[in-house]
Amino acid sequence: MLDKSKVLSCTRDGLDIFKHYLPGDWRVGRNFKNPFYDDTKASCNIYFDRRSDMYRMKDFGNPDYDGDCFSLVGKIKNLDCTKDFTEILKQINEEMNLGLENSYALPQNRSSSRAKANNVNENSVKELAYHPKPYTIFERGFTLKEIDFWKQYGITREILRLYRVVSLDEFSSENKDSKPFTMYSSEQEPMFGYFGKRHVKIYRPFSQIRFLYGGNLPESYCFGLEQLPAKGNTLFITGGEKDVLSLASKGFYAICFNSETSSIPESLIKKLSYRFKHILILYDVDKAGLDASLGHHKKLSGFGVNRLKLPLSGTKQEKDISDFFRIGNTKNDFNQLFLEFLDQLYNETMAILKPCEINFTQPPIESQTLISINDVPLGTQGNLLGLTGGEGTGKSNYVGSLIAGTLRQDDYIDTLGTNILPNTDSKAVLLYDTEQSENQLYKNILGILKRSGRENMPDYFKAYCLAGMSRKERMQAILQSMDKFFYQFSGIHMVVIDGIADLIRGANDEAESVALIDELYRMAGIYKTCIIGVLHFTPNGLKLRGHLGSELQRKAAAILYNTPQN
């Protein structure tokens, strides 16, 4: 049988009823305009009445709307609360699908900034790691002292808003014995909330009890997951929410689970490993954090997950990434730590590559950019560009003009009618040559530098002669050196691979051709650069070589054909 207490118990003390019947983007405790008449001033308010233990409405502009949720529904339905109260309950039950006459309730609209979670359906309970806890919170604006607290870690208001972090005035819930309690914020003990879809995690940085939660905290709790991009370079798994926020404020991508000892789902890491080039565990450097990160690293190493240790003392005041930034380290300092990690990771590869690097003072060794002709884009970030032609059609000369356009110091140089985006940020320009000799490549570089107006090679221009390496070594060297130079020079402007057919066993091998083009396309997307692949025509024909040529035509943004000039 329907009664008032049952309806209130499954509608968060009537708040869900207000949410259902009162239109508009209003918030508890904030004045708003009454939508049921021409209200010129924001003088209507929804608040929690502790005496009646339910939400009520107060309209200072029109007292006819004062009352609880049942009186509001009665007014909307032209029903009298004193005579038609049962009918009001019935309509609320039916229109909100509460299902009370079937002895179960489905709570609605869990997204309010002030919420009280009392019920979950049977299927949801099976998925929870924690028993759902009813809770009530009162949100408030950040005080100047609270803003200063976050600011010391580099965390801005914008980041707090993006990650749904709020300042709380009051938090009420139940302990493990189901006894109610209430905590209040103060200047000495501020209180913050990390909001999820059906839960809130409470953070009290200066209190003895620092973390609490309310609502349905899922077993797969992962803070920061919704804010990740579709693809990125590096993802950090940190020990806590504050670390995620601190990294995000510096432009890094990060997530955390409920604690450092929480299980990390392998299924999630598998999905993230495709979206990100690197996944690194970045836990606290105290004993507990180091032990936890080592255990997770061993478990997840099959997905390419690594760990990064911060150069901190491990004391309570200096143990995590937020402390790293708080004590004065910058984004560049952290980038340097990551670059040192890559040096160790690719130490053997870079040692093998070193003899292949072009040193202009000690000849010889190799060179590469974003392209358009007559305002028609050909080579764009995240895409491939194919360059083809027969023997003696000037492909190397044309490639040299593209590279010269990225190195130019003068406003105008001859780029053979092609518009090249200037490399104003000195990002890496990479040329990998699999065909020509060192001496011929050296002569080509002399021509490129002359065309660009330079006498010496800039640091960001790297050229390699890979003719003496095996095909498997060539591909590995290209991929790993690209990753190294991306971080060393804060990006890659352009990559040229002169002779992509020499990266696989045969241009007619369909499986290897598809895998090679897919990998190059993925790298172009991850590094936000244009990769130019040079491929010959078939002998005595006007068709690109084999399956490799067909796959390049299918995936490339454009194909440029060099034809002999009369």
Among all chains, which residue has been given the structure tokens 């590559």? 353
Residue 221 lies in a domain: no
Across 465-493, average pLDDT = 92
CATH of the domain at 251: 3.40.1360.10
Task: Please report which confidence band the pLDDT of residue 35 belongs to, taking 50, 70 and 90 as the band edges.
Answer: confident
Residue 73 lies in a domain: yes
Q: Are 171 and 135 in contact, with CB atoms under 8 Å apart?
A: yes
Task: Please report which confidence band the pLDDT of residue 365 belongs to, taking 50, 70 and 90 as the band edges.
Answer: very low
Q: Are 350 and 484 in contact, with CB atoms under 8 Å apart?
A: yes
- Check whether residue 547 and residue 476 sit in a common domain: yes
Is 80 exceeded by the pLDDT of residue 177? Answer: no
| Tokens representing residue 168 in the block | 């709380």
pLDDT value, residue 102:
46
Across 175-204, average pLDDT = 89
- Check whether residue 379 and residue 308 sit in a common domain: no
- Check whether residue 521 and residue 543 sit in a common domain: yes
- Check whether residue 530 and residue 479 sit in a common domain: yes
pLDDT value, residue 101:
63
- Check whether residue 180 and residue 253 sit in a common domain: no
Q: Are 354 and 481 in contact, with CB atoms under 8 Å apart?
A: no
The one-letter amino acid at 434: T
- Check whether residue 251 and residue 193 sit in a common domain: no
Task: Please report which confidence band the pLDDT of residue 563 belongs to, taking 50, 70 and 90 as the band edges.
Answer: low
pLDDT value, residue 396:
80
Is 50 exceeded by the pLDDT of residue 98? Answer: yes
| Tokens representing residue 83 in the block | 């005579």
Torsion angles phi and psi, residue 74, rounded to 5: -60, -40
Range of the domain at 413: 355-562
Residue 46 lies in a domain: yes
Percent of the chain with pLDDT over 70: 90
Is 90 exceeded by the pLDDT of residue 531? Answer: yes
What strand order describes the sheet that includes 419-420?
A: 376-379, 371-373, 419-420
Domain stop point among 215, 243, 259: 215
| Tokens representing residue 1 in the block | 């049988």
| Tokens representing residue 196 in the block | 């999820």
Task: Please report which confidence band the pLDDT of residue 333 belongs to, taking 50, 70 and 90 as the band edges.
Answer: very high
pLDDT value, residue 543:
67
Across 209-231, average pLDDT = 89
Rounded Cα distance, 247 and 465, in Å:
39
Q: Are 128 and 218 in contact, with CB atoms under 8 Å apart?
A: yes
- Counted domains in the chain: 4
Q: What is the DSSP letter of 429?
A: E
Per DSSP bridges, beta strands 371-373 and 419-420 are antiparallel
Rounded Cα distance, 98 and 73, in Å:
15
pLDDT value, residue 128:
32
pLDDT value, residue 114:
37
Rounded Cα distance, 58 and 43, in Å:
8
Q: Are 456 and 488 in contact, with CB atoms under 8 Å apart?
A: no
**Half-sphere exposure (Cβ direction) of 390: Cα atoms closer than 13 Å:** 9
Across 240-266, average pLDDT = 93
Determine which helix (DSSP H) or strand (DSSP E) holds 47, and give its type and residue range.
Answer: strand 44-49
Domain stop point among 152, 185, 215: 215
Among all chains, which residue has been given the structure tokens 């309310």? 214
- Check whether residue 140 and residue 40 sit in a common domain: no
Rounded Cα distance, 104 and 121, in Å:
8
- Check whether residue 361 and residue 258 sit in a common domain: no
Across 307-311, average pLDDT = 93
Task: Please report which confidence band the pLDDT of residue 372 belongs to, taking 50, 70 and 90 as the band edges.
Answer: confident
- Check whether residue 257 and residue 163 sit in a common domain: no
Residue 272 lies in a domain: yes
Is 80 exceeded by the pLDDT of residue 78? Answer: yes
Residue 220 lies in a domain: no
The one-letter amino acid at 373: I
Rounded Cα distance, 223 and 254, in Å:
9
Rounded Cα distance, 564 and 391, in Å:
9
| Tally of helices (H runs) and strands (E runs) in the chain | 18, 22
The string of DSSP codes covering 157-197 is HHHHHHTTEEEEEEEEEE-TTS-EEEEE--SSS--EEEE-S
Beta bridge partners of 431: 463, 496
| Tokens representing residue 354 in the block | 């070193």
pLDDT value, residue 103:
36
Is 50 exceeded by the pLDDT of residue 485? Answer: yes
Burial class (CB in 10 A: 0-12, 13-18, 19+), 363: middle
Across 319-334, average pLDDT = 94
Residue 505 lies in a domain: yes
The string of DSSP codes covering 362-403 is S--------EEETTEEEE-TTEEEEEEE-TTS-HHHHHHHHH
Residue 130 lies in a domain: no
- Check whether residue 248 and residue 325 sit in a common domain: yes
Rounded Cα distance, 137 and 135, in Å:
7
What is the SS3 string spanning 197-237? CCEEEEECCCCCCCEEEEECCECCCCECHHHCCCCEEEEEE
Q: What is the mean pLDDT of the chain?
A: 85
Helices marked H in 65-201: 69-77, 85-95, 122-125, 144-151, 157-162
- Check whether residue 244 and residue 382 sit in a common domain: no
Rounded Cα distance, 136 and 13, in Å:
10
- Check whether residue 452 and residue 528 sit in a common domain: yes
Is 60 exceeded by the pLDDT of residue 17? Answer: yes
Helices marked H in 250-362: 266-275, 287-300, 321-326, 331-345, 347-353
Residue 34 or 392, more confident = 34
Residue 120 lies in a domain: no
Percent of the chain with pLDDT over 90: 41
Nearest to residue 338, comparing CAs of 431, 418, 236?
A: 236
Domain stop point among 87, 105, 123: 105
CATH of the domain at 514: 3.40.50.300
* N- to C-terminal Cα separation, the chain: 95
Burial class (CB in 10 A: 0-12, 13-18, 19+), 220: middle
Rounded Cα distance, 37 and 274, in Å:
54
